[in-house]
Structure 1
Amino acid sequence: MYLDYYNLNLKPFQISTDPRFLWLGEKHKEALAVLRYGILDNKGFLLLTGDVGTGKTTLLQALINSLGDDVLVALITDPGLAKMDFFNFVADSFGMDRNFRSKGEFLLSLKSYLLEVQRQNKQALLIIDECQHLNQKLLEEVRLLSNIEKQNAKLINIFFVGQSEFNEIILRPRNRAIRQRITINYNISALTEKETDSYIRFRLEVAGTKETVFTSRAIKEVYKFSNGYPRLINIICDHVLLTGFVREKKKIDHRIVAECAQELKISHGLTTRNSMATPEAADKKAVEASAADITMQTALEPRNRPFNRPLVIAFVVVVAIWLGLVVFFLLNHWQAPSSNAIVDESGSKRYVPNLQEMGTPKQSDNGSTLRPASEGQSAIERSDTVSSERPADRAGPNKQYAADMVKSAKREEIAASSFSTQEPVTESKTSGTGKTENRITLAQIQENFGAYPEVTFEFDANTFGTESHDMLGIIARYCLQNPDATLVLRGYTDAAGVRAYNMKLSKFRADMVRTYLVGKGVKSEAISTLGIGPGTDGPGNTTISLEGNRRKVIIEIIPRNE
């Protein structure tokens, strides 16, 4: 329709393969030369891959046409066949003029045929196009065909041509035998913007005109729409020339191309994952697919997204564990009695004084005087005396957990009392009840636990050991005494495994420590968490070594004057 208007003799942008319009860029010339060498030199297995519409079929036809009469070619364009159908198709393509009913008959006849071909100084080439459709059993049968050989020569060359997914197929462990036999492997990529310009001008010249039909900005729009895929270039350019003819535009500008590109795009299109071979793939403003479309794609194309399933399952499991632990710690915090009574191993309640009570003597129920830890008796020892005067309650359902809690509480009280007696008290505070509270200083924490205290975890574990409870109890008390202080919790892992999983695991561990501190009374907004994973960034511009135990959370305490 538009041929006369643009002084053309042929339609320049037809989708069908036409050898007259064969354009070879540098990458195509290289691929043609490499593959031709592999065939003529009897290299055995060859592989040509590329995305949809990159010109594999055109290049394949050019390769076949470049071969002489001494190369006998059998081309299989649809390998999605049953085994015997495939064998008979190969036999017919080689001109063996026989129908086979068993694999044994076919192999015997094929071997005789190939030996005769070699005696005539000719070569046999089996080309399997769209090889990504080969099933596993048929792929193994094709591999076994290559075993038909003489001691000093290959009797048949096998040439795979297909989409890039085939690379993933042959990289599977079960296909390592066939992967090792591939001697020539070439992947053809899409055109660059400069190559797109040359491609369009070449086809227009072959069609009969040397005039500049497309402006430079129009070429850019064509490339933006097509992503450099020749098939899409042909589609958009044919549509553009027709539109230009209707509007009587001798020169095609970028506005016409953009308008045609919009018309050619499919609304709510779902593109193949990791592929740019569709117009919608490059459109950053494309409308997101509806929930119904996504559900349909998931049901109809499960093979396109197999790697998502384990990631989704792992994510759901991690979130479920995290929520469970958060609920556990929050319930534990809410259910803690307002007094300082705890349940010991025998199921009875025991009384443990807090830091304020350590500083001031207190009368017990039987009239005896409780003295502070600095006077020679530990808080737990005194609590044992008092507990005998309190009525025993019935043991809870989880007796072992109660035992662990009382042990942890004992250690925290002992650690806290040791903090108050290690050094002279530098600061004291009188509460509203008139009791004196021994203060914990940042210097004392850093002296006992280092400049940046660490909470360690076992391999692939989400909970920290009870040995960290003492330290976290001291830090929590420090924060309660210094409400303006803030904490930065950085989680780390080793470098083994998937980085994304390690990042989530390190953040999860930091959140676990944060939950524990919040359960101890520290304000939630005073704590921030970071997941560093296998990284080396540490607090205060320090660098965390890659050696040693990296499964930990490092605590940075920032006092109010910083």
Structure 2
Amino acid sequence: MYLDHYHLRLKPFQISTDPQFLWLGEKHEEALAVLKYGVLDNKGFLLLTGDVGTGKTTLLNALIDSLGDDTLVALVTDPGLAKMDFFNFVADSFEMDKSFKTKGEFLIYLRNYLHHIHQQNRRTLLIIDECQHLNQKLLEEVRLLSNIEKSNTKLINIFFVGQSEFNDIILRPRNRAIRQRITVNYNISALTASETAEYIRFRLDVAGGAPALFTSGAIKQVYQFSNGYPRLINIICDQALLTGYVREQKHIDHKIIAECAAELKISGGTTHRKNLATPEGAAHPGPQAAKGDERQLDDRESKGSDPLNRILPIILTIVVILCMGLAAVLALSRLPGDKETLPITVEPKKTIQEKVAKVSDPPNDDVATKQSVNASVKNPVPGDSGPDTDTNTLLEPVSPGNENLPAKITTPGPETIRETPDKIILLSAITERFGAYPEILFDFNSNTLDASDYEKLDIIAQFCSQHPQTRLVLRGYTDKSGVRAYNIKLSEFRATMVKTYLVGRGVKDSAIKTIAVGPDQDGPAGMTVPYDGKRRKVLIEILATTLAE
């Protein structure tokens, strides 16, 4: 779209990984060397963690490309599988050419297969990406796979790649066994200010652009808003190139960067979290490779011998007892007979489903709420066992004039989006509130989003995160006024802006397709988008037909 304008051969800041744009800073080269050593030396369990957008996938692809043909790699990109689905996926990735119906059948075949691979002087590497999504049972199954070994060597290397919260998972007492088996643990941090400048100029050079396309002030602003995260750097820089192209500017300055960051709702100054499960968090800020997390575990457990740690629970217990006694005294002083009575209001905690309902508020909130409540009382949800077991029950405050009346109990009606135990967002809930094709509306010649748009996109992004198979198609539309070429360009810009925001919220770039429809009428599923009504919009098509509601 903007290649000719900036004299570029390629788009320099694509979100998807491209080997041509592989840039490895000092910390990335160190991580690659340590992880490759762990694989070639059959270290068993390896772990690479980092925040969202720090370049884990890029580093992972570089590691796979650096391994020779003597290493057989199985990559699991979606660990949210059932147990047998996971086993069969691993078998297919290892080219076993066999499917399994039971765990025992799989383990017997895998054991013989690994011994056969070892006799050929080859290695096996099982990579589990997004490992923070592993449930507890499947994590234990993965640990048990490492028990297939010979007396003097490991027959399978297992490589966990995930976000920093996976360190919290393996620090749980129940995961002590798997924590002690991790021999290589590396946490990749964000880029520094100087590395950010090198990264931007490197990608511009590969794309055929001038290094001075971004001014030094613009690069400083990029670092301030991205905090050195490569994915955010790409998002901001790509948006800046689009903005500069629309305004016909040949250079990107700090003002454009600040404007793009505001449009994308990106604020700078985020502090990077340290984690005791990583060598980085336990020792010092510089990225370091770990030969195991035994030292971190010993540090944590040794705290139990600190006298202060032994006394602290006793002090807290005494404080709690005193508070309970004080509460009892106050309660006795408020026995019936007091003339002053205060109403009590219990407010429920808002859920993500309530956010969905809030986006498309009805014209009269009070009337709509009462109708929903009345409908739910007349038609209770099947399977409800009463107010004692319904976690979504709301207690209305008792008015001072009706102290003798029991509190009314209201429950959400069947049309209300209910929070499931695992807080999963259903596609039916999204379509019920936003329609089959959610719309992001724009004002005339505008490319800004309002608060309701951001909330709507956040919900869709969370749905995509919970359902990785989901694909999105974003179609940009304009009215028929003005030059057609400009309208096409404007519709593409708006669709790309929505895509950029969704990617920044964790949706995979490869899962989103943008279409610049402009003033035309082409719609999803063969439908026609009429010219009447609001045409300046981005229409979102959610392709999730494989999901079970």
| TM-score relative to the length of structure 2 | 0.50
Which amino acid in 2 is paired with 1:133? Answer: H
The DSSP-based 3-state class of the residue aligned with 1:79 is coil
What RMSD, in angstroms, separates the aligned Cα atoms of the two structures? 2.9
Q: 1:273 to 1:228 in 2, by over 3 A?
A: closer
Alignment of 1:38-437 (within 5 A): 38-265=38-265, 321=324, 324=327
Q: Deviations over 1:491-532 (max 9, x none)?
A: xxxxxxxxxxxxxxxxxxxxxxxxxxxxxxxxxxxxxxxxxx
Distance 1:79 1:328 in 2: 52
Which amino acid in 2 is paired with 1:244? Answer: G
Distance 1:273 1:51 in 2: 8
Q: 1:245 to 1:81 in 2, by over 3 A?
A: same
Partner of 1:541: none
Distance 1:258 1:101 in 2: 56
Kindly state the Cα deviation for residue 210 of structure 1 after the two structures are TM-superposed: 3.4
Distance 2:272 2:257 in 1: 26
5+ unaligned residues in a row in structure 1: which ranges? Answer: 276-309, 332-562
Distance 2:110 2:266 in 1: 48
Distance 2:325 2:3 in 1: 68
The DSSP-based 3-state class of the residue aligned with 1:257 is helix
Alignment of 1:529-540 (within 5 A): none
Distance 1:161 1:314 in 2: 41
Q: Deviations over 1:426-455 (max 9, x none)?
A: xxxxxxxxxxxxxxxxxxxxxxxxxxxxxx
Kindly state the Cα deviation for residue 99 of structure 1 after the two structures are TM-superposed: 0.8
Distance 1:45 1:100 in 2: 25
Q: Deviations over 1:474-494 (max 9, x none)?
A: xxxxxxxxxxxxxxxxxxxxx
Q: Deviations over 1:305-328 (max 9, x none)?
A: xxxxx9xx9999689548648859
Distance 1:37 1:179 in 2: 20
| TM-score relative to the length of structure 1 | 0.49
5+ unaligned residues in a row in structure 2: which ranges? Answer: 275-312, 335-549
Partner of 1:528: none
Distance 2:122 2:16 in 1: 31
Aligned residue pair count? 292
Q: 1:252 to 1:326 in 2, by over 3 A?
A: farther
Report % sequence identity: 76
Distance 2:208 2:318 in 1: 60
Q: 1:316 to 1:218 in 2, by over 3 A?
A: farther
Partner of 1:24: 24
The DSSP-based 3-state class of the residue aligned with 1:126 is strand
Distance 1:209 1:225 in 2: 23
Distance 1:132 1:174 in 2: 16
Which amino acid in 2 is paired with 1:147? Answer: N
Kindly state the Cα deviation for residue 330 of structure 1 after the two structures are TM-superposed: 11
Which amino acid in 2 is paired with 1:98? Answer: K
Kindly state the Cα deviation for residue 273 of structure 1 after the two structures are TM-superposed: 11
The DSSP-based 3-state class of the residue aligned with 1:4 is helix
CA contact (8 A) 2:14 2:238 kept: yes
Distance 1:189 1:315 in 2: 42
Q: 1:145 to 1:7 in 2, by over 3 A?
A: same
The DSSP-based 3-state class of the residue aligned with 2:252 is coil
Distance 2:191 2:272 in 1: 20
The DSSP-based 3-state class of the residue aligned with 1:54 is coil
Partner of 1:431: none
The structure whose RCO (Cα within 8 Å, separation 6+) is larger is: 2
Kindly state the Cα deviation for residue 232 of structure 1 after the two structures are TM-superposed: 0.8
Q: Which has the larger radius of gyration?
A: 1
